[in-house]
């Protein structure tokens, strides 16, 4: 397999692992806006998604859009399996195409993304799987580096943020929506992305828009993904995260 073929295979695997995570969080219907039924192609991303949209071949666009459309519309899994067999017989039947088709069937069956990743490794074979595993690690490391420009790294300590944050006349979490952008970014740089997502779980649309609006689209999307992926959160955890925001804001004196 050439380097170009490997890269294409990795891109297809990344795409369907991303789709699997999205379907797990939001349901199969969340994939509907990725399909152009008229042209039988997949829509490219708008630029704020977690991954870059890969360059797909026409046969891949055709097969993937057809099968994704089928599972989104509730087509029976046996019928999907038959369509998949027909597609493999009528197209080039490359590793990337087989991988994508198998991934779509897994998404329909509700296979967890982590289990799907193991199946992808098995389809690739040992040598390519090891390279792909390193590719995934490099991707996640690069993503963490991007996020670290705007949020505190997990496990690092803040300067002391002691203070009540709850006294009469003091700030409340929603007041941060009225801060200037630079003040909000200073607060975020002393807050882990998970903690920011927790604080925003019950936040108003105003503060959600304010914080996301301070961030580049890709980082704002990462914050949204974090909020969606964590699921339900205890009220006490939300209150603690919001109090952390307020203490940092009071210490920094931002407005």
Q: What is the pLDDT of residue 162?
A: 47
* Distance in angstroms (rounded) separating the CA atoms of residues 9 and 143: 20
Could you give the C-alpha distances from 46 to 49, 159, 184, in angstroms and in order? Answer: 7, 38, 25
Could you give the C-alpha distances from 104 to 16, 85, 179, in angstroms and in order? Answer: 7, 13, 44
Helix (H) or strand (E) holding 36: strand 35-36
Q: What is the pLDDT of residue 163?
A: 45
Adjacent-strand bridge partners of 36: 41
Q: What is the pLDDT of residue 52?
A: 81
- Please identify which residue in the block is written with the tokens 């708008």: 46
SS3 of 41, please? strand
pLDDT in tens, the chain (255 residues): 899 999 999 999 999 999 998 898 889 998 998 899 889 999 887 655 677 888 999 999 999 999 999 999 999 999 999 999 999 888 877 999 999 999 999 999 999 999 999 999 999 999 999 999 999 999 888 888 888 888 987 656 655 554 444 444 478 999 999 999 999 999 999 999 999 999 999 999 999 999 999 998 888 888 988 888 777 889 999 999 999 999 999 888 755
Q: Is the CB of residue 71 less than 8 Å from the CB of residue 107? A: yes
Adjacent-strand bridge partners of 192: 152
Which pair of tokens denotes residue 103?
């991934």
SS3 of 49, please? coil
Q: What is the pLDDT of residue 254?
A: 56
């Amino acid at each position: 397999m050439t380097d170009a073929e490997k890269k294409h295979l990795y891109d297809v695997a990344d795409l369907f692992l991303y789709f699997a995570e999205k379907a797990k969080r939001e349901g199969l219907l969340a994939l509907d806006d990725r399909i152009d039924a008229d042209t039988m192609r997949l829509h490219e991303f708008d630029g704020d998604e977690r991954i870059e949209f890969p360059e797909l071949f026409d046969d891949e666009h055709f097969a993937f859009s057809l099968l994704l459309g089928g599972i989104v519309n509730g087509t029976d899994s046996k019928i999907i399996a038959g369509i998949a067999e027909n597609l493999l017989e009528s197209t080039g039947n490359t590793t990337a195409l087989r991988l994508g088709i198998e991934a779509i069937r897994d998404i329909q069956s509700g296979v967890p993304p982590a289990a799907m990743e193991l199946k992808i490794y098995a389809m690739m074979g040992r040598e390519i799987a090891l390279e792909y595993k390193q590719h995934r690690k490099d991707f996640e490391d690069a993503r963490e580096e991007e996020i670290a420009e705007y949020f505190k790294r997990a496990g690092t300590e803040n300067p002391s943020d002691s203070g009540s944050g709850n006294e009469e006349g003091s700030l409340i979490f929603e007041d941060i929506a009225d801060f200037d952008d630079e003040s909000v970014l200073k607060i975020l740089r002393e807050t882990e992305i998970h903690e920011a997502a927790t604080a925003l779980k019950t936040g108003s649309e105003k503060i959600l828009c304010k914080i996301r609006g301070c961030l580049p689209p890709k980082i704002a999307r990462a914050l949204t993904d974090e909020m969606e992926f964590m699921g339900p959160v205890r009220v006490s955890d939300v209150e603690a995260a919001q109090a952390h925001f307020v203490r940092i804001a009071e210490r920094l004196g931002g407005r």
